Chains A and B, each alone.
Chain A
Amino acid sequence: MEFSRRTFLKGSILGGVGISTLGFDLTPVYAQTQNLKISRASETRSTCPYCSVSCGVIIYTLGDKAKNAIPQVVHVEGDPDHPINRGTLCPKGSSLEQDIMNDRRLLKPQVRRPGATEWEDISWDQAYAEIAQKVKKTRDDSFIEKDANGHTVNRCEGIAFTGGCTDTNEFNYLAVKSMRSLGVCYLENQARV
């Protein structure tokens, strides 16, 4: 079949369309770096509650302390100024965000009645009243003013107080003040074990 002009035109048109539709557009691609999530959060300097290195931490909370924004912890990082940890944290310190925003947190006072098999909710005032009565009753029952040799001892043998190791000093002082005033001798703390 000899080469007719018309067939030639058909072929070239077809070829041209093919080439141009093969996608030579160059949409620019820029880095979609995630916006820095802490750039507008408010910072609070605190100390990690775990071991006794007392690393300085910066707690980034949602919002700029505006009244209507209930602060939620967005991120916790080491405090670069703190001379001991200089911004570093251990695996426990680095997960502090999870320790603060943890859905296993206890959120309401509960009581287990004698013989009960599960918890009951109780209001704060009710809890305070009942605890105060029980403390008074136990103190009055077990209070010793003078010991066998006649020395004044003013001891309450029936109550024990065990303080945690991440209670602040001021809380410990209040604990010593209140418990020693009750005459408590069984006063112990995690420092013992």
Chain B
Amino acid sequence: MSTAIERFDDKARDAFDRMGQNEVYEGELLRHRVYTRFLHWMVALFFFLALFTGFGIYMPWLFRWFTPIFGGGPLARAMHPWFGLGFVVFFALQMLNWIQPMTWTAADTKWIRNLRSTVSGKEKQDPPDTGFFNGGQKAQFWEIVGGSVVFLITGIILWKGARTFGCWPVAISYILHDISAVIMLGGIFIHIYLSTIGEPGTFQAMIRGAVSEAWAWTFHPAWYKEVTGRDPVQACEEARKRGQIAKQ
């Protein structure tokens, strides 16, 4: 089964590479290919569309000013399931795309365990065994996978309504849908924060697909080592020395 996914992913990546292009300048590494970036932004787009239309249903008296953007309450409610479906479909493709790098490893549990220090800023550099994705990103990925499965099931139930599925399934899926939405929302805040102002230099990874080598060895040393073959800590020291020489 996985070989079929592999073949599909490769074919897709090549096809998209032909269509788009990865701008990798000197001193940068290729991080995300066109196919990944395309999927990421489609997922993001549908997520926000679903989120905003969903707000109109979740708490209309709070978000009543939102729905006119989508042409009023009824249209927002009508489009919400389609956006949700878009989100789930594209995320499914992303999941196939990232199934390999996202597999959970011991390093990730270790990363999660010293999460407090990374958040409080004491640890300037991530532990050397942080691979292509660190524990937080993997946790969020799998959280989104779980969330979108819940979205799909409860969404279909809510969409077709009590007429086909009965009162209690709708009532329960009404809660699960909300819970997973709120959790995912929380995760998305953090994701956006870290990928923009939280960790400068990350955003271009999803725009041009390239990251600076400094970024690589600081946040994903194991991946840096794997790609460039050099030792990240040593590379960081050399860069610091070069920095002081330039300053003098």
Asked if A and B are interacting partners, one says yes
Residues of A within 8 A of B (CB): 21-23
- The 7 A-B residue pairs with the shortest CB-CB distance in the complex, in nearest-first order: A23-B64, A23-B65, A22-B62, A23-B62, A21-B65, A23-B63, A23-B61
A–B pairs, 10, beta carbons within 8 Å: A21-B65, A22-B62, A22-B63, A22-B65, A23-B61, A23-B62, A23-B63, A23-B64, A23-B65, A23-B66
Q: Mark B46-67, 1 if CB is under 8 A from A, else 0.
A: 0000000000000001111110
Bound CA–CA A102/B107 (angstroms): 81
Bound CA–CA A23/B63 (angstroms): 6
Bound CA–CA A22/B60 (angstroms): 10
Bound CA–CA A23/B56 (angstroms): 11
Q: Which residues of B contact A23 (CB under 8 A)?
A: 61-66
Bound CA–CA A22/B56 (angstroms): 11
26-84 of chain B: CB within 8 A of chain A: 61-66
Bound CA–CA A23/B65 (angstroms): 6
Q: How far is the CB of B65 from chain A (nearest CB, A)?
A: 4
83-104 of chain B: CB within 8 A of chain A: none
Q: How far is the CB of B78 from chain A (nearest CB, A)?
A: 21
Bound CA–CA A108/B62 (angstroms): 63
Q: Which residues of B contact A21 (CB under 8 A)?
A: 65
Bound CA–CA A21/B66 (angstroms): 10
Bound CA–CA A22/B62 (angstroms): 5
Bound CA–CA A21/B55 (angstroms): 14
Bound CA–CA A22/B64 (angstroms): 8
Q: Which residues of B contact A22 (CB under 8 A)?
A: 62-63, 65
Bound CA–CA A164/B216 (angstroms): 99
Q: Which residue of B lies closest to A22 (CB)?
A: B62
